[in-house]
Amino acid sequence: MTQRILIAEIATAHGIKGLVKLRYYGEDIADLTSYNPLFTSVTGHDTLMIHVKNAVKGVYLVEIDGINDRNAAEALRGQKLYINEDNIAPPADGEYLQKDLIGCDVFEKDIQIGTVIGMDNFGAGDLLDIKPLSGESFYLPFKDEFVGDIDISKKTIHVNIPDGLRE
């Protein structure tokens, strides 16, 4: 079975006509409608057809077929939307799918400090969720100043963790 990739999430309802605000995790929002219909789970068959209207304060305003009022739109809050992995082009050099980073061993100054257990984005950018060899997991911004060499074939990521982030 083809794996599914999380591509977007419905943030909240917008207005009274059933529009929703959508967080898009892809590169180019213009690609989103070409993925229609979008799956509502990793394994199920339920789908939604969406139509992008415009950008609104860091999210996108979208219309969903069959959703015509605020109550129906509000019921979709937090709904994650997926596409089949084979629908997207392979990542270019220097680009990665989130699923490829999960499970990578994390090294700082050539010493393994933990493993990537997830990725999140709460609106300010992607964050690596790192489970250290001991202690509580922590987030590291997925930015060039903190994340260095990534070798997907070796499942390794080299990082530079700023002072105070793990304490």
Domain ranges across the chain: 4-87, 98-159
Instruction: Retrieve residue 61's tokens.
Output: 């305003």
Give residue 12's pLDDT. 93
Domains 4-87 and 98-159 in one fold: no
Tell me how many helices (H) and strands (E) the chain has: 2, 13
Give residue 93's pLDDT. 77
pLDDT per 10-residue tile (average), the chain, 167 residues:
85 94 85 90 93 85 95 96 83 79 94 92 82 92 92 93 74
Please tell me the pTM assigned to this model. Answer: 0.67
CATH 2.40.30.60 corresponds to the domain 4-87:
yes
Tell me the CATH number for domain 98-159.
2.30.30.240
Other CB atoms within 10 Å distance of the CB of residue 142: 21
Evaluate whether 63 touches 73 at the Cβ level (below 8 Å): no
Give residue 20's pLDDT. 96
What is the 8-class DSSP label of residue 146?
T
